[in-house]
Amino acid sequence: MFLLKLIQAWRSTAFGVYGYLNFTRSGFLEHAKNFNREDMERRIDGKNCIVTGANSGIGYATAHGLALRGATVYMICRNKERGEDAVSKIQSSTGNQNVYLEVCDLSSVRDIKSFSSRFKEKDIPIHVLVNNAGLLENTRVTTSEGYELNFAVNVLGTYGMTELMLPLVEKSQPDARVITVSSGGMYNSPLTTDLQFNSGIFNGVEQYARNKRVQVALTEKWAEKYGDKGIGFYVMHPGWAETPGVATSLPSFSKSFEGKLRTSDEGADTVIWLALQPKEKLVSGGFYFDRAEVSKHLPLAATKSYHDAIAIDSIVDTLNSFM
Ligand SMILES: NC(=O)c1ccc[n+]([C@@H]2O[C@H](COP(=O)([O-])OP(=O)(O)OC[C@H]3O[C@@H](n4cnc5c(N)ncnc54)[C@H](OP(=O)(O)O)[C@@H]3O)[C@@H](O)[C@H]2O)c1
């Protein structure tokens, strides 16, 4: 017990220091000194991209960046009005009219299934699927389908969307890619099979970190499972960006880091970069930050040993049973 507390204290200290030095705006500007400008000059005219949670923050910036480079963008939003507003802003600021709204609530398996069967009728190849929608709900909320809300959106929503869209993603092989927006917060959590925080007192921040760790492990699993289908699976984290989500879920953090956080565009930079990079330069299953592959574990944080095949296989079995 004492050792566990000591490890947790070390983990959160290491995370705080590493995050402060790298995840803020100054970290982005420092890392940007090594960026190649040409990487972002590629066009992706005619490529079909899906971005979930696209009406706000990093998702909006991603959809905008993809549309600016000529892609046909399907923006998945849960709210029709907010979605329509975002679509029309992107159409007018980019001049790209091939930007469309799809309404889907990712906290509902029923809704994801209904969206996917509707969308599949288009029978088009999907070149890039960006799993961006996410939230940090501090209190325990149960969805109408009976799932803990953070888990429902961050894990089950990401899993369901990816698995159900795979037949369309596969159509764009060998260039197909799935990009999932995780969080640096996942460094704080080992992989656990307690997906809905059933043991112990519920803690939203911890649950969010667990969810984001699962996304990293799922990406590894997908890369291994579908490696022969010409699909690249990448997971990234955006650093700390000033978005409506952060302001609502982490008000004290947001206030104390006022002026130090990244913009949404800076948070979305690596997502767009992953969509544009030639696939042979990327590692499927890899975790990316500021246009580079980075470690999935902090030194001495004792998260690596949990990251084994047994845990993720059992998590996948659970997720399949919910689909
Ligand atoms: N900002 C950061 O510093 C940071 C750091 C690490 C990771 N991230 C990750 O980045 C991603 C984007 O977050 P953000 O900071 O840009 O937050 P945000 O501004 O709140 O955007 C989140 C988006 O997800 C959507 N969403 C939430 N629940 C949904 C649901 N049930 N169905 C469909 N869409 C849903 C939101 O829709 P509504 O507008 O309708 O709520 C919104 O469009 C998340 O996965 C987050 O975990 C962000």
Ligand 1 pocket: which of 25, 60, 78, 254 to mutate (most atoms within 8 A of CB): 78
Asked if residue 36 is part of any domain, the answer here is yes
d(CA 17, ligand 1 centre) in Å: 24
- Which is nearest to 206 in space by CA: 193, 218, 182, 190? 190
User: What is the predicted pLDDT for the residue at 309?
Assistant: 64
The chain-wide mean pLDDT, for the chain, equals 95
Asked if residue 22 is part of any domain, the answer here is yes
Domain enclosing residue 228, as ranges: 2-42+58-147+158-258+268-322
Q: What is the average pLDDT across 187-198?
A: 95
Asked if residue 49 is part of any domain, the answer here is no
d(CA 153, ligand 1 centre) in Å: 10
d(CA 300, ligand 1 centre) in Å: 30
Q: Which residues are marked as active site?
A: 208
Asked if residue 113 is part of any domain, the answer here is yes
User: What is the predicted pLDDT for the residue at 307?
Assistant: 66
Asked if residue 122 is part of any domain, the answer here is yes
How many CB atoms are closer than 10 A to CB 84? 15
CA dihedral 185, 224, 106, 206 (to 10 degrees): -20
For residues 188 and 11, is the Cβ–Cβ distance under 8 A?
yes
Sheet containing 176-181: give its strands across.
99-103, 72-77, 48-52, 128-131, 176-181, 231-236, 287-289, 292-293
Asked if residue 47 is part of any domain, the answer here is no
Over the stretch 96-150, which tens digit does the pLDDT of each residue have? 999 999 999 999 999 999 999 999 999 999 999 999 999 999 999 999 999 999 9
Q: What is the average pLDDT across 188-198?
A: 95
CATH code, 226: 3.40.50.720
Give the chain's domain count: 1
Asked if residue 50 is part of any domain, the answer here is no
Token code pair at residue 194: 């307690």
Residue identifier of the C-alpha nearest atom 17 of ligand 1: 245
